[in-house]
Structure 1
Amino acid sequence: MEQPTIVTDGRRIKGNRRRRALIEATLRVIERDGVSGVSHRTVSQEARLPTSASTYYFTGLEDLLTAALSSVMTEDAERVRRLTAPGDNRHELALLFAGVVALPGHLLAEYELFLLAARRPALRKATDEWLDALRDFAYCYTDDPVRAWYAAGMIDGILLHSLLRDEKPTAAEIETAIRALLPGPPRNP
């Protein structure tokens, strides 16, 4: 039997690359200037693309911000979900977050977008995905929904507080906090 030929549309690949470049540029603009600094012009300049590119790939600034928020929250939720695998992964989660707080620029952009979602309910699908991933991780160590909710809040609190401090929490400190709230053995050995 003959193998099917995979046809690659170069325009689609170029379009996906440009769209991704605009999303990444949006995150850099938010990191540097906040959400208020996002415009089609600033994002396009940051991406080194013509201004018309952002208006071509995104129907408006809301669409661009939604894409940026969805992108980072989906990516981060997936990283946490990988740690819901069998075994004790609290140390790995602490290492993951220690790496995140060590390079706070991306985290700052994420929380700017997180706060925007608090004001715009249409953006909350992506933040819900992130919070669900944190709670799913907690459910690996507890069956108490309140404890799982506290764990998600604690993790977000640690990440948010790290933006306000010059001295970032270490992986050991983060792990200690996680183990204090989720002390039991993994429920998924």
Structure 2
Amino acid sequence: MNEPTTGPITGPATGPTTEPVTDGRRAKGERRRRALIEATVRVIARDGAAGVTHRTVAREAELPTTATTYYFSSIDALLTAALTQCMEEDSARIEALVAAPGGDKRRALAELMAEILSPPGHLLAEFELCLLAVRRPEQRAATRRWQEALAAFARQFTDEPLRVKLFAQSYDGLLLQGLLADKPPTADEFEELLRELLPDPGGAA
């Protein structure tokens, strides 16, 4: 299936060229693809993964259904792209905390966790996507950068492999419990838990 093409344009001095058209089409394609992925996450947040179809995603993105099938040949491809984008965005936020000079990084992470839960829709969609990856091994690669980012954060406080692993596996659990709670944890509550998981090297959190 092909999108409509645009013919060559003629510059005032250089004659026919396809580069500007090609670049413009590529940028438009990237915008559409991203809009469809973001729409997929919103549909999952609202209706669950079972609500994802080419038609519902296209409607959410305010694009024709043909655009969805053009960029994503199957629902699995769409779900994989959504999971990949979520994991990349989440990883980038953690990596930014790791790279930031100075400051109380456990406090910064606690504030980020509280922010993620308010509102919780996007996080809920991410957990649904991760659960789908349990049954679809080809989707699990998207989570590797995320696990590496969490491990890098933990290694700022400890070089013990077991504690690094404990933190990386506990982080998602804390957020999941936050989703299940009647009242989401505050940044202060998250900070207290993070200091238990990652105490200062000298022993005082």
Task: Name the SS of the counterpart of 1:167 in structure 2.
Answer: coil
Task: Using structure 1 for the length normalisation, give the TM-score.
Answer: 0.91
Q: Which of 85, 88, 106 lines up with 1:90 in the alignment?
A: 106
State the distance in 2 between where 1:101 and 1:185 align: 29
State the distance in 1 between where 2:56 and 2:20 align: 35
Q: Which of 120, 123, 127 lines up with 2:136 in the alignment?
A: 120
Task: Name the SS of the counterpart of 2:117 in structure 1.
Answer: helix
State the distance in 1 between where 2:92 and 2:142 align: 12
State the distance in 2 between where 1:63 and 1:7 align: 29
Between stretches 147-156 and 22-31, larger displacement belongs to 147-156
State the distance in 2 between where 1:16 and 1:185 align: 45
CA RMSD of aligned residues (A): 1.6
Which amino acid in 2 is paired with 1:135?
A
Tell me the equivalent position of 1:63.
77
State the distance in 2 between where 1:39 and 1:29 align: 9
Tell which has more relative contact order, 1 or 2 (C-alpha 8 A, sep 6+): 1
5+ residue gaps in structure 1?
1-5
Could you list the per-position Cα deviations for residues 92-132 of structure 1 after superposition, in whole angstroms to 9, with x for gaps in the alignment?
Answer: 11111110012100000000001011111111111121111
State the distance in 2 between where 1:25 and 1:166 align: 27
Tell me the equivalent position of 1:14.
28
Q: Does structure 2 retain, via aligned residues, the 8 Å contact 1:117–1:127?
A: no
State the distance in 1 between where 2:61 and 2:201 align: 46
Tell me the equivalent position of 2:51.
37
Q: Does structure 2 retain, via aligned residues, the 8 Å contact 1:22–1:43?
A: yes
Deviation of the 1:185 alpha carbon: 4.2
5+ residue gaps in structure 2?
1-18
State the distance in 1 between where 2:159 and 2:61 align: 45
Deviation of the 1:7 alpha carbon: 4.8
State the distance in 1 between where 2:148 and 2:182 align: 29
Q: After the TM superposition, which segments of 4 or more aligned residues of structure 1 sit over 6 Å from their partners?
A: none
**How many residues end up aligned between the 2 structures?**
181
